[in-house]
């Protein structure tokens, strides 16, 4: 994918989460079962960098569990970040506005002494257009992690749902053609609080394994969870090689 097409897809999603951030947040006031499964793996003292933190629901859950480690959530949607700032009294979570597609420029802002124990990206990578941009982000995540750290991410498996497949729109709706995008790229509509469009990539297990290899990670665990049939999200845990 050329840089111009990738930039256009980024702008489509930026516009979506600016216009529909509030209505999107209203549908995200509980964590998915797969995220709870990941949280059960924690000891409680890990430092957590939450990429694409959204409305801060993960930080709230960590606070409820008495998590003692530091937490930093980053997201580019200001409406979602406004909701994220509403945390339980005494919570030490911090939040920062940042566009992950610009992570190569802004990564220094995420550096901490000793690096992060865990970096999470729940329902995030599928909004990053182009293999090149994804690899740039993943290689930086590798550098931000402790040597024994874990990168945990989930990716929407919307093709497993007839309901969501019915929301796929033609690329001509945004003035693009299939030749400008990559295999697995889709345009989906949104129908809550108005009509909108957003870019989403559908990952396969094989594709994610290749991305892990090319960004110096090893896939150590994988499972499906969430939604109808428990197969609407693909979760993977990666360790730096």
pLDDT tens, 217-236?
999 999 999 998 999 999 99
Q: What is the pLDDT, as a whole number, of residue 91?
A: 72
What is the fold of 3-240?
Rossmann fold (3.40.50)
Handedness of CA 112, 113, 115, 117 (dihedral sign): negative
Please provide the average confidence, as pLDDT, over all residues in the chain: 92
* pLDDT tens, residue by residue, 40-99: 999 999 999 999 998 899 999 999 999 999 999 999 888 888 888 887 776 788 999 999
Q: Determine which of 23-27, 70-74, 86-90, 203-207 has the lowest per-residue pLDDT on average.
A: 23-27
* pLDDT tens, residue by residue, 28-56: 668 999 999 999 999 999 999 999 998 89
DSSP state of 47: -
- Return the closest-CA partner of residue 54 out of 35, 33, 28: 28
Q: What is the pLDDT, as a whole number, of residue 47?
A: 96
In the chain, what are the domain boundaries?
3-240
Is pLDDT at 27 greater than 70 in this prediction?
Answer: no
Tokens found for residue 37: 């499964």
């Amino acid at each position: 994918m050329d840089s111009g097409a990738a930039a256009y897809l980024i702008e489509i999603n930026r516009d979506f989460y600016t216009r529909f951030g509030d209505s999107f947040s209203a549908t995200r006031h509980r964590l998915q079962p797969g995220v709870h499964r990941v949280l059960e793996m924690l000891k409680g003292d890990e430092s957590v960098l939450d990429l694409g933190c959204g409305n801060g629901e993960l930080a709230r859950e960590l606070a409820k569990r008495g998590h003692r480690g530091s937490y930093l959530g980053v997201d580019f949607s200001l409406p979602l970040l406004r909701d994220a700032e509403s945390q339980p009294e005494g919570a030490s979570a911090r939040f920062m506005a940042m566009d992950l597609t610009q992570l190569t420029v802004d990564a220094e802002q995420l550096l901490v002494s000793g690096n992060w124990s865990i970096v999470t990206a729940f329902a995030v990578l599928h909004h990053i257009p182009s293999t090149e941009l994804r690899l740039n982000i993943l290689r930086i995540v590798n550098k931000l992690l402790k040597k024994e750290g874990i990168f945990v991410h989930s990716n929407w498996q919307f093709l497993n749902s007839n309901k969501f497949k019915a929301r796929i729109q033609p690329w001509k709706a945004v003035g693009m053609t299939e030749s400008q995008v990559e295999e697995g790229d889709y345009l989906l509509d949104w129908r809550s609080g108005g009509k909108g469009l957003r870019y989403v990539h559908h990952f396969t297990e094989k594709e994610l394994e290749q991305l892990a290899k090319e960004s110096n990670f090893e896939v150590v665990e994988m499972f499906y969870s969430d939604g109808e049939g428990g197969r609407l999200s693909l979760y993977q845990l990666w360790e730096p090689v």
